[in-house]
Structure 1
């Protein structure tokens, strides 16, 4: 593994050759946080003043120096707890060899706003991305299971595209914006334990109505310009303004999709050129 600056971010190139998580040092850090003050934000400033060994402080300092993680080709699994509380990570880019992300792998990486998942990903473990700051998540069609709480407590998570065949465990999206305008009554914690089947059916079918064909095209894992243009030609440019049941427009899906290499302006330009050509 090596560290370099990429796009202005301190970047760890993770090749899986070394176990990054040290349970003993993590426990020492947690004890230091508890003893220092239960009122102190354990993810915030001042932790170097806690009563911890130099080894523990060096361990924490190193983990908090990483701002971007690039998972290198050949890595198939991100082990449990690998990047837990690496609070300054902003982006994670997975190689397409990654098949599994285990439990708590990125737990409380509170600055993490962007992930690019492997197109071959099959499994996301419990609490894998809990407490991050993701805004949109696009799950590949290869994925078969997302476990309990995997994306919960991402307060700003608004767009979550998930294949219909996937197995979703309870509270995958607890306390996220996805459900702010949903038809479901949440509990006092903003979670939906008692309505799992109904909620997950709604989540997986939110764009399945025929009138939402443009939503599906824009939020697909790797959207195709040709497909989007064909839908626009059938439905008109106004289809970009039709909101789905979560109050999201196709434009928002396209804008937030990290795998889209096309822009709405390109679609509109091609549509106008097509219309003009037909009326010459």
Structure 2
């Protein structure tokens, strides 16, 4: 594993060669916090001021220094608790070899706003991204198993795109205490599959054709262009669906999209002018 600055962010290139979470050092830190009547998680000031061993200080200095994680090719699994309470991580980019993200792997990474998941991902564990700051998540079609509370308490999470085949364990609890959960009419006590059906069918209806294309995992330019022609051109980008999301927002927040809305509209107009 190595650390470098990428896009202005201190970046860890994670290769799985070292176990990053040290439970023994973590609980030594917690014990010192308790002695001082502090129940908060690790922060830079505490690490330097508290009576901690140099080993413990170095452990937390390192974890709090990371701002971006790039998972390198060859890694197939992110073990449980690996990046727990790494408060300053903003982005995580997964290699396409990753198939599993285990329990609490990124729990309480409270600065985390963007993840680009592996296109071969199969499983997201319980609370894997709980208490982060994700705004949108696009789950690859390969991922059929998302465990309970995987994205709980991402307060600003408004977009969670999953395929019709995905199984969300615990129903609505997958997104408890998020912006998206506020828009859902299915009660938390419901485990019958009603939440799964609601989430997967937000964009049903003929008027939402462009939403369905733009919110798909990896929409193509041709798919978008053809739908725009059917739905009235660029103005279709401004139509909100039943939870107040526009096709434009789906497009802009999808890390797998290769073209921008501006490029799409420019090409559409050029095609229309050429046909006149």
Superposition TM-score, scaled by structure 2 size: 0.93
Tell me, yes or no, if the aligned pair for 1:179 and 1:246 is still in contact at 8 Å.
no
2:75 alignment partner in structure 1: 75
Tell me, yes or no, if the aligned pair for 1:84 and 1:108 is still in contact at 8 Å.
yes
Aligned residues: 272
1:152 alignment partner in structure 2: 152
Q: Secondary structure at the match of 1:92?
A: strand
Alpha-carbon deviations, 1:143-164, whole Å to 9, x = none?
Answer: 0111011111111111111111
CA–CA distance in 2 between the matches of 1:195 and 1:98? 29
Tell me, yes or no, if the aligned pair for 2:43 and 2:64 is still in contact at 8 Å.
no
Matched, 1:245 2:247: no
CA–CA distance in 2 between the matches of 1:44 and 1:209? 48
State the shift of 1:58 in Å. 1.2
1:255 alignment partner in structure 2: 252
Tell me, yes or no, if the aligned pair for 2:88 and 2:111 is still in contact at 8 Å.
yes
State the shift of 1:87 in Å. 0.7
CA–CA distance in 1 between the matches of 2:17 and 2:215? 35
Matched, 1:203 2:199: yes
1:41 alignment partner in structure 2: 40
State the shift of 1:44 in Å. 4.2
Alpha-carbon deviations, 1:47-84, whole Å to 9, x = none?
Answer: 22334322111111111111111100000000000010
Matched, 1:232 2:228: yes
State the shift of 1:208 in Å. 3.2
CA–CA distance in 2 between the matches of 1:128 and 1:104? 4
Tell me, yes or no, if the aligned pair for 2:186 and 2:194 is still in contact at 8 Å.
no
RMSD: 1.6
Tell me, yes or no, if the aligned pair for 1:207 and 1:215 is still in contact at 8 Å.
yes
Match of 2:270 among 265, 269, 273: 273
1:32 alignment partner in structure 2: 32
After TM superposition, the structure 1 = structure 2 runs for residues 40-189 of structure 1, keeping only pairs within 5 Å, are 41-44=40-43, 46-48=45-47, 49-170=49-170, 171-184=173-186
Alpha-carbon deviations, 1:185-222, whole Å to 9, x = none?
Answer: 5xxxxxx2446622221011112333322112112111
Q: Secondary structure at the match of 1:106?
A: coil
Tell me, yes or no, if the aligned pair for 1:80 and 1:105 is still in contact at 8 Å.
yes
Q: Secondary structure at the match of 1:272?
A: helix
2:22 alignment partner in structure 1: 22
In structure 2, the gaps of 5 or more residues are none
Change (3 A) 1:43 1:207: farther
Tell me, yes or no, if the aligned pair for 1:182 and 1:245 is still in contact at 8 Å.
no
CA–CA distance in 1 between the matches of 2:192 and 2:239? 27
State the shift of 1:232 in Å. 0.5
Q: Secondary structure at the match of 1:82?
A: coil
Tell me, yes or no, if the aligned pair for 1:181 and 1:247 is still in contact at 8 Å.
no
CA–CA distance in 2 between the matches of 1:57 and 1:126? 29
Tell me, yes or no, if the aligned pair for 1:111 and 1:133 is still in contact at 8 Å.
yes
In structure 1, the gaps of 5 or more residues are 186-191
State the shift of 1:107 in Å. 0.6
